[in-house]
Amino acid sequence: MHRLAYCAALACLAALAHAQTTPVPKPPPELKQLDYFAGKWNCDAITKPSNAKTVGTSQCVWFKGGFVLECQSHDTVPQESTGVLALGYSTTEKAYTAYSYGSTGSAPSVFKGQRQGTTWTWQGEGTYRLKPAKYQFTMTEDSPVKYSFQTRQSVEGGPWTVSGEGSCTKAK
């Protein structure tokens, strides 16, 4: 019994020593670029080719530590739905990352992105009507309080087509 208590005490001391000497990681500087999206946004979009209008809001806040920007969306038109988007940066891949989940039953999506000037380009793969598809999502910072976006898709290696476009304005 004493041996077990002695081993447990040594393990606790080792863990405490490690915790005191391990520096707290700092977010890579690339993450500061995502600060643009922090806050509340009002968004309007048109889905192609049906020209259906989508209206919603998005609220983006940083996780404690500053490594992930979480955006929660709430669309009201054409149907009520919610979603979560987690934005980050992979230093090993030198790419921005986006993980999205939604309440409409679609599979979670994973995108990798780059920023050049005021344009963000995200790419990912998934399915469209049970067929393999590639997606591209482009966002352009039009001003400090407005961005526009366009989504394109290629189904089963076919041509790229616009599947939606719209804009978001920062709420006051």
Peptide bond into 49 cis (omega under 30): yes
One-character DSSP codes across 36-77: GG-EEEEEEEEETTTTEEEEEEEEEEEPTTSS-EEEEEEEEE
- Would you list the domain boundaries of the chain? 26-170
- What is the DSSP code (8-state) at residue 5? H
For the entire predicted model, the pTM comes to 0.81
98 band by pLDDT with thresholds 50, 70 and 90: very high
Residues 92, 137, 121, 63, CA torsion sign: negative
**Cα–Cα distance for residue pair 26/66, rounded to 1 Å:** 8
**Cα–Cα distance for residue pair 133/145, rounded to 1 Å:** 32
Say yes or no to pLDDT of 157 above 50: yes
Taking alpha carbons only, the member of 150, 58, 146 closest to residue 100 is 58
- What is the DSSP code (8-state) at residue 20? H
Residues 26-170, CATH architecture: Beta Barrel (2.40)
Both structure tokens of 77: 């038109």
**Cα–Cα distance for residue pair 163/154, rounded to 1 Å:** 10
15 band by pLDDT with thresholds 50, 70 and 90: low
**Cα–Cα distance for residue pair 54/45, rounded to 1 Å:** 5
**Cα–Cα distance for residue pair 14/116, rounded to 1 Å:** 46
Q: What is the pLDDT of residues 30-83, one digit of tens each?
A: 999 999 999 999 999 998 888 999 999 999 999 999 999 999 999 988 888 999
**Cα–Cα distance for residue pair 77/69, rounded to 1 Å:** 25
Tokens 């616009």 found at: 162
